Amino acid sequence: MARERTHWIEVDAYDRAAFQRLTDDSPSLRALTASGSKLLPHFDGFLLDLYALLYKMNIVLHPEADVTPAAGFYRFLIDELRATPALEVLRHQTVLDEGVAGLVTLLLGQALLELLKSERVLARGDMLDVWNLQQQTEEIDGRAEHAETAAALRDAKHPAQCAAILSGGNVDPAWLASALTA
């Protein structure tokens, strides 16, 4: 089963939309996302986490099993941030204030980006390891999807349709859709 979450802090549709509006309106935030995404996968998810950490009244973390493994480094950063007294001082100014939370997200994100670029937080080899982990996760998820399809075909009640799929022949699209969703 694919773990589709790339962020750690629970957010709702409103939170995602507010952060997306801020990103759309801020060339600096878009540039930060693009630059950070070149160094580590799911940097955009981390920025959403930063925003949520600053904006939301109550912080609830997703279980580790629900988040893609390549986002594990961000969980470490979130835990470290949450342990600092400075975060509480910032939160007094940012909680439930979209604009201020967005600005502080930008500033903290830029600081982290500079630390990443200077390799003071992660060495280049470690960043490559995170990318490799992401690639391996995608491959495993892809194989799991193929296994589910194979199981559906194995259990199908129409062997002629299964044979057509395996041989590359014509398959009734309605049957295929029903077999894959069953």
For the chain, give every domain's residue range: 13-122, 130-181
The pTM for the full model equals 0.70
- Averaged over 97-114, what is the pLDDT? 96
Cα(53)–Cα(90) distance, rounded to whole angstroms? 10
| pLDDT band at residue 128 under the 50/70/90 scheme | confident
Cα(77)–Cα(86) distance, rounded to whole angstroms? 14
- Averaged over 25-50, what is the pLDDT? 94
Whole-number pLDDT of residue 131: 63
Among the listed residues 103, 127, 118, 4, the one whose alpha carbon sits nearest the alpha carbon of residue 50: 103
Residue 61, SS3? strand
Asked if residue 62 has pLDDT above 70, the reply is: yes
- The structure tokens 């997200």 sit at 105
| pLDDT band at residue 1 under the 50/70/90 scheme | very low
Whole-number pLDDT of residue 43: 92
Better pLDDT: 2 or 176: 176
